[in-house]
Amino acid sequence: MNVHQISVFLENRAGQLAEIAAVLAENHVDLRAISIAETADYGVLRMIVEDAEKATAILRDHGYIFSMTPVTVIAVPDQPGALSLVLTLLAQAQIDIEYMYSLFTHMDGKAYMVFRISDEEKFIAKLAEHGVHAVSKEELGLK
């Protein structure tokens, strides 16, 4: 689908996250999802924002290093066991997940999960067989 995540390089030191959060806040960037992967020295802040173009322009202005990464967002019923079902399907189909995290958004009894997987086409096809669908950015209200 067409959802893109912004990945930002952050040094692993006190205050780094606060700084970027402040920059985003000052510029009224609406965060929809956020996740961090880190090592002892550095980390990658991954986020889904309402207006990616605006957010990247701001990050660029502030000297951050970032990249845009295509991700797949799926909607699952907002109830216990829903995620487990999806993950079991992926395991059975031997599809590797690089990473995943969740969107803050809940709508119509649905929760949204962000996936970064090696084989997106296979992933979407597999889920479709079981009535789970990838969500477009328009559906999520993203620009």
Return residues touching another protein (CB under 8 A). 5, 7, 9-11, 16, 37-39, 41-42, 44, 46, 63-67, 69, 98, 116
- Asked whether the beta carbons of 109 and 93 are under 8 A apart, the reply is no
Task: Assess contact for 116 and 97: CB atoms under 8 A.
Answer: yes
In whole angstroms, the minimum distance from the beta carbon of 77 to another protein comes to 29
* Number of CB atoms found within 10 A of residue 129's CB: 9
CB 114 within 8 A of CB 48: yes
Q: For every residue of 41-64, which 3-state class applies, written as one string?
A: CEEEEEEEECCHHHHHHHHHHCCC
State the nearest-atom distance from the C-beta of 99 to another protein, in Å.
Answer: 9
Q: Residue 55 CB: number of other CB atoms within 10 A? A: 23
Closer residue to another protein (CB): 56 or 76: 56
Of 67 and 84, which has the nearer Cβ to another protein?
A: 67
Minimum gap (Å) between residue 94 Cβ and another protein: 19
- Shortest Å, Cβ 63 to another protein: 5
Considering the complex, state which of residue 69 and residue 82 has its C-beta at the smaller distance from another protein: 69
For another protein, give the closer residue by CB, 9 or 104.
9
